[in-house]
Structure 1
Amino acid sequence: MKCPRTESNLKQIKVGGIAVDISQACGGVFFDNHELAHFDEQHEKRGTVLIDHLAQFSPPALDYSKRINCPKCTDIVMARQFYSPKHQIEIDICPGCGGIWFDYGELAKLRGLFPHQSDREQAGKDFEKNMLEDPMYQAYFTQIEQKQSLAKKLNRFSQFINTRIF
C-alpha cells in the first residue's frame, strides 16, 4: 500500500499483536476497520507505543486540505470529517472499507481529547443537548414535524378518497 499523502510505501508494523500501516515519510497511520478501538484511549498501551514510534518521523510540508484516496481501496476518495462533536480533529475515512487515515499528530491529539470512552460518550451527549437547545435546530425540527404532519394528513385523505371512489 502507498501513503495517501506522499505516495511512498507504507510499512506494516505490529503493535501489541495488531498490524497497522504507517508512513515513514509523513508520520501518518492507516487503521483497518475497527482497529482504532485498540489505540484510541490513553490507558491503551498500544496507542502510547504507536505514538512514540510515529513521533520519530518529521512530516514534510503537505497540503492537508487535499482530498486523498484510500491506501487500501486506491480508487476511492476518502471522506474528510470531524472525528468528534468538538470539531478539533478532522480525519479521513474510506466509505468502502471503513479504514481510517490519521495524519501526523492526529492520533495523539485524539487520545488527549478523549482519554476514555466515557469522555467520548459525554462529548456526544453534550453535543446533542446543545443542538436540541439551539434555536436554529429547533426551527429545523419544527419544519420537519410540520411536513410529517402534512404528509400524514394527505395520506389519510388519499386513503379516504380511494375507498370512496371504488
Structure 2
Amino acid sequence: MSIPCPHDARPLTIEEAEGHIGHLCETCGGLWLPRQYIESLAHLRNFSAKPFYAAILERPKFRSTIGCPAGCGTLQRKSVKGIDLDFCPGCHGIWFDRGEVAAMLKDYPHTANGGGSSGGDAGDVVDFVLSVLDIFN
C-alpha cells in the first residue's frame, strides 16, 4: 500500500536516513515522517519526542488544507520554533514541506553515542542536515 502525497495524491517514495524510514514526495519535495520516525530521533540526537509533541499540542491549531497521508483526516497546522508543521492528531505523523526537516533538526545536535565522530559538535549537525537535504529534498 502506497502513501499518497497530501498535495497531489502521487505515491510517496520510501527513503531512509540514518536508519530511519520517511516518505518523500519527489514532486513537491515534501516529507511525511510517521510517529515512529520522530520517536526514533532520540537514539541519535539530543531529542525527546514527549516534550516535542507537548510543544506541538500546546500551540494554537489552525486547520490545514491537507489530509493525513496515513488516512486519519485533515492535518492541523502548528507553528513550532518558527516552522509551520502539519501535524496529525490521530497518528502523530508530521508533514514537512521542503526544507522544514533541516530547519527543525538544526536545534537537535547528535548525541555523544549517536553517530558522527565528534560527539555532537556543529560539524555533525551540518553533516546530518546536508545528508537530510541530499536524501529528502
Q: Pick from 66, 69, 75: which aligns with 1:68? A: 66
State the Cα distance separating 1:22 from its structure 2 match. Answer: 0.7
Partners of 1:37 and 1:109 lie apart in 2 by 18
Partners of 1:101 and 1:94 lie apart in 2 by 8
TM-score, scaled to structure 2: 0.56
Number of aligned residues: 91
TM-score, scaled to structure 1: 0.47
Partners of 1:81 and 1:66 lie apart in 2 by 9
Bigger share in strand: 2
Instruction: Give the number of the structure with larger relative contact order, counting CA–CA contacts within 8 Å between residues 6 or more apart.
Output: 2
Partners of 2:80 and 2:64 lie apart in 1 by 17
Match of 2:132 in 1: none
State the Cα distance separating 1:26 from its structure 2 match. Answer: 0.8
Bigger share in helix: 1
Say whether 1:79 aligns with 2:76.
Answer: yes
Uncovered stretches (5+) of structure 2, i.e. residues with no partner: 46-62, 111-137
State the Cα distance separating 1:25 from its structure 2 match. Answer: 0.6
Q: Structure 1, residues 56-97: CA drift from partner, whole Å, max 9, x if none? A: xxxxxxxxx961100002x5000100123xxx1010111111
Query: Relative to structure 2, which stretch is displaced further, 9-18 or 95-104?
Result: 9-18
The equivalences for 1:39-58 within 5 A come to: none
Rg (Cα) greater in structure: 1
Match of 2:97 in 1: 103
Partners of 2:64 and 2:77 lie apart in 1 by 10
Match of 2:5 in 1: 3
What is the RMSD computed on CA atoms of the aligned residues? 2.7
Q: Secondary structure at the match of 1:2?
A: coil
